[in-house]
Chain A
Amino acid sequence: MNEQTSRSLQSLQTWLQSVITHPNGVSAGILGAQDHITLTPEEIESVVPASSQLDSISKIEVYGNAYYARLIECLGEEFPAVKHALGADTFDSFAFSYLHQFSSTSYTLSDLGRQFPSFLEQTKPSDAGELGWADFLIDLARLEWHYSEIFNGPGTEKIEALTSENLQSLTPEQFTMCRLVPAPCLRLDEFRFPIHEYATAVRKKHESPPLPAPTLTRLVMTRRQYVVRRVAVSEAEYCILQELVNCTDESIGSILDRAAEHWGNEMQEHLQEWFERWAAAGYFVGLESLTR
């Protein structure tokens, strides 16, 4: 232990962080962190002493190895189906590049994977022509991120969702004056592959399904009793649900009138069944009057 040096706590911390997070390892990190502490790897003992058993670089490497290993493991738990699809080694190298580009800036590891789907999108080979492997992975990552957000976010477990009776007994006035309030956990998204089936096979059944053929897949996702649920729906059902969720200043009646023009017979035939299913699945939690 020395007399206090003139080095500030801040410069020491900035230096150590930059050394242990350097993608090429601790020695490269020391050379790269000259702005914070001017030092060659040979002079490291002037900052971090060796023990009788272990040299300084190896000691710092405990932190350096742990940094990437821990966060890569965490991303693997966030995206188990993507990891399965890519294989562990390839996934880990994607995760490594991702972490290098998007360091965590949050107190919680729950945010770590937020940019991962768009990172995969960015790193997609530009010469990839038609829909393929990379697009499948991007969609799969987006699905798994939805699952995480729905799992952790607000739900309807402690509130009453609208029942089928509530929906069947809407008065004409409510139809023209109200909108349906969606459950806070309700999400709709379109994918280019049936990734939900792949994800379930990997995550729940521990199977190794083949890469599915491209099929435009429209999913409605929500959470019931703390479990994330997803269902694939037809284009008509998806579009009508989307309008009901997104058009926050339009009444149910007005949305359905517009939809009827577009979807005609299909809508007439299925609307009752859809409303029953939406009620059973708790997609809507209330009516809100449009008083403006």
Chain B
Amino acid sequence: MPSETRLGFPNLGLGVGLRHVHFSHILETWPNVDWFEIISENFMDSQGRPRDILDQVAERYPVVMHGVSLSIGSTDPLNHDYLLKLKKLAGEINAVWVSDHVCWTGVAGKNSHDLLPIPFNEESLSHIVQRIKTVQEVLERPLVLENPSSYITFQDSTMSEWEFISRMSEEADCGLLLDVNNVYVSAYNHEFDPYEFLQSLPHERVVQFHLAGHLNCGTHCIDTHDGRVIDEVWALYKKAHELTGGVSTLLEWDANIPSFDEMHAEVLKARDFLAEKEVEELNTSDQTATDQTNSVPHPINYYVGSEAE
């Protein structure tokens, strides 16, 4: 499976997110999955069961750390305590790489726990490039950043998202996590051509793909991570695969999480799509919203709570 490397990173194959509802299944069966991605914040402070399970998983599978609280685009100072914890965990579980999002999560000391969009202009570009460099110095490894789904754009933007991301990755010398579902969602919401997005990226910097399901509300799409990947997103994936030569691919499923096997089967469809085989249960259209007001973007899978006897 591993082929060429990007920023020194291998192609890990087809992986899934490590989610607590699957912990027991994973420990009992050690499923034949290529690799796991974790939400860094769900484990970096754990001194209990989640961390113990992560240690066992990391002994057997490649693990990639995907964070949601770096807030690389925020105008607040970087949180060095957070960065050091990130670095410590990455060292302890031998994380293959560390990623987060091209976004900000809060300002003035607050955290919205959402992936908020930044305006794409020269000020935000030089700000984010500077901060990526600092983070890479602290972590002593390249940072990999993902394009988030977004629901608004700013009049303050002076360039497209793909131009911003391309320049950002070149100037900061970082990797890219290309979420093809997010490209679809943002393209739908902001009425741009998703293929132009894919075409314009520096393909040699793409380290990883994300795939996920979303909700189409008609007027806009919401990145819910709660279902299957739709055909249009598989088509974008195929194009991205062509353009990059193929990189590590991960399915995100964070709400209404099915059984481990069902989730794993969804990412394995990638092989069929790339081989242009007929795939059973093709989704010919998006999930259709019945009640838009209750739909919440689910970019963040969190694990709180405890088990007590």
Contact = CB atoms under 8 A, between A and B. Distances in A.
Contacts of B109: 105
A125 to B, nearest CB: 28
B249 interface: no
Interface in B131-166: 151-160
Interface stretch (B9-17, B119-127, B268-276): B119-127
A71 interface: yes
A252 interface: no
B306 A152 contact: yes
A229 interface: yes
Interface stretch (A3-11, A162-170, A232-240, A275-283): A3-11
B180 to A, nearest CB: 20
Contacts of B108: 14, 17
Contact of B302 (A12, A52, A109): A109
A199 B28 CA distance: 28
Interface stretch (B40-48, B240-248, B282-290): B40-48
Q: Give the dominant DSSP class at B's interface.
A: loop
Contacts of A154: 47
Contact of A78 (B151, B300, B305): B305
Contact of A67 (B79, B112, B118, B157): B112
B181 interface: no
A227 B307 CA distance: 6
Interface residues of A, number: 72
A199 B69 CA distance: 32
Contact of A226 (B48, B106, B189, B302): B48
Given A51-B190, A227-B308, A13 B153 contact: no
A21 B109 CA distance: 14
Given A13-B74, A48-B153, A58-B219, A109 B190 contact: no
Contacts of A12: 119, 154, 156
Interface in A59-88: 59-60, 62-63, 65-67, 69-71, 73-74, 77-78, 80
B220 A109 contact: no
Identify which of A20, A21, A66, A78 gathers the most chain B CB atoms within 10 Å of its CB. Answer: A66
Interface size class of B (residues with CB under 8 A): 35 or more
Contacts of A54: 189, 219-220
Nearest to A203: B308
Contacts of B107: 10, 13-14, 17
A56 B49 CA distance: 44
Given A62-B220, A154-B47, A200 B124 contact: no
Contact of B155 (A16, A17, A46): A46
A90 to B, nearest CB: 18
A107 B48 contact: no
A101 to B, nearest CB: 13
A152 B48 contact: yes
Interface of B: 41, 44-50, 52, 69, 74-75, 79, 82, 104, 106-114, 116, 118-119, 121-124, 127, 151-160, 189-191, 218-220, 222, 293-294, 296-298, 300, 302, 304-309
Given A110-B304, A152-B48, 6 more contacts: A12-B154, A47-B155, A63-B114, A65-B296, A78-B305, A106-B111
13 contacts: A4-B123, A48-B152, A49-B153, A49-B155, A54-B220, A59-B189, A71-B113, A104-B113, A109-B41, A150-B306, A151-B305, A152-B48, A228-B308
